[in-house]
Structure 1
Amino acid sequence: MSSILARVKYVLGEEANIEVREVLSIDSAVDKLHLHDMTVLAGLGSPVNVLVAFSFEEDLVVGLFEGMAEGLELDGEDIDLYKEECAAEAINIVLGLSTADLQSEDITISLSPPVVLDNARWIHRHKNAHFACMRLTTDRGFLDVNVVGPRDLFDERMNYTV
């Protein structure tokens, strides 16, 4: 979680000049995750084996798109598609950078392609899964970062343990 937080702050700041103002830990003993307007899912492969869901409020997605698309000539009809692609690419960068913090010299961590869920409202917890959640308050809205994996992968501070 600390690696992802550091990388999210970096990517939002560098790509869109969006500042993370506050980070709140959210109770991880929940049965379902309530999602914002757009959620990007991606998985980190073995040995980490977790699914990460980044759930954005609409204004944050707009701010990210504006920052990443600055200076580009884009067709106005495809703005929603471009916003999804910007959110997915930002998360791809975040998780790609985070893998460097988690891998050892002889192990490579795979990364699944991001999947965008638009207007999904929740993700239910399966019986053997555990949710580790944090809410980031930015100057453009909320971003919830949710890591889903087996309980024994996390310590008491919700950080991944080997």
Structure 2
Amino acid sequence: MSASSRYKFQRVTPADFGRLAAWQSRPHVRAWWDAAEPFSAQKLQDLRVSRWIVSIAERPFAYLQDYTVHGWDNHHFSALPKGSRGIDQFIGEPDMIGKGHGPAFIAQRLQDLFTAGAPVVATDPHPENARAISAYEKAGFTVFGPVQETPWGPILPMQASP
């Protein structure tokens, strides 16, 4: 298996809700991810967002979502070019943190999105989430503006291009 395809992205289904809820309850996820918004079958029907379970060697360990940045009125990334995507993720399994998986699977998904035609992919980590910011930088993202307040809290805007 090549390094560029070592991670598997499988669409989230209702069968994954228990795993996702368990991951969201872990302190390292809860610190940065809103567990008050559980996953639901209704959310899976929202075509603006693609939701993925990330696995390596048949072991699920992370969640990633990518979305159209133009799917919401006044989204903080709405000035990006048409076709741009946003991305959010977390590693749910604590023993998989700090081993380079985050930057690697993010970079792999970036390439998938660029191959599909996305001109820009943006992300918006909390400005105090140094681990996420570092992972995004290693995957190819750069900061493209000052810290902003959004309906989801403070964010550091970052973007990557092919």
TM-score by length of structure 2 reads 0.31
TM-score by length of structure 1 reads 0.31
* Relative contact order higher in (CA < 8 Å, ≥ 6 apart): 1
User: Of Structure 1 and Structure 2, which has the larger fraction of its residues in strand?
Assistant: 1
